[in-house]
Structure 1
């Protein structure tokens, strides 16, 4: 389960930013995750709750914002929606797609004290 290491990484970022920006408590974390990032959101929520115990983010709410997957089709020369890494183009059926969006995971916003 790589969600545990992801949750630990999130807490490390929060602690690093707390030192840099002088906050002492994290109340809410908004996290953007694309469908191609291969992250199980329920597992991530569970792991986040576990790893934030006794940290500045204990009790923090993790809000997950799901973003859409998108790729550029080299045959159609346009962006098309995708839900999995090896999807075909919805317009022409080509597999010559370059991912444009949807494989990222990033902290979008924090509510802190």
Structure 2
């Protein structure tokens, strides 16, 4: 379950920032997760609660912002939304697409005290 290691990485960032910026508690974490990131959100929520127990982020709320998958269609010369990798362009049907968004996972915002 790679969601556990993702949560451990998130906690490292939170603890590092707490030390450098002087906050003592994280109340809410907003994560942007791309549709193509391969992250199971239910598992991530479960792991986040388990990993953050007894830490600066104990009982913190986890808010997930879904980022749609996007690709550049070479024949259309424009950005299109896709559902999954290797989809055809929804406009022209071409498979000459280059994924340009929806693979990321990042901490967007924190609420701290």
| TM-score range relative to shorter protein | over 0.9
SS at structure 2 position matched to 1:109: strand
Runs of at least 4 residues off by over 3 Å: none
Task: Provide the residue aligned with 2:67 in structure 1.
Answer: 67
Unaligned residue ranges in structure 1 (runs of 5+): none
1:12-71 deviations in Å (ceiling 9; x for gaps): 110111111111110000000111001000000000000001110000000001111111
Q: Structure 2: how far apart are the matches of 1:53 and 1:59? A: 7
Name 1:80's counterpart in structure 2: 80
Q: Distance in 1 between matches of 2:87 and 2:20?
A: 41
Measured in 1, the distance between the counterparts of 2:63 and 2:85 equals: 24
Q: Which residue of 2 aligns with 1:96?
A: 96
**Alpha-carbon distance in structure 2 between the residues aligned to 1:9 and 1:61:** 17
Aligned residue pairs: how many? Answer: 113
SS for the counterpart of 2:20 is helix
RMSD (Å) for aligned C-alpha atoms: 0.8
- Post-superposition shift, 1:91? 1.1
The separation in 1 between residues aligned to 2:30 and 2:46, in whole angstroms, is: 15
Q: Which residue of 2 aligns with 1:58?
A: 58
Shift of 1:112: 0.4
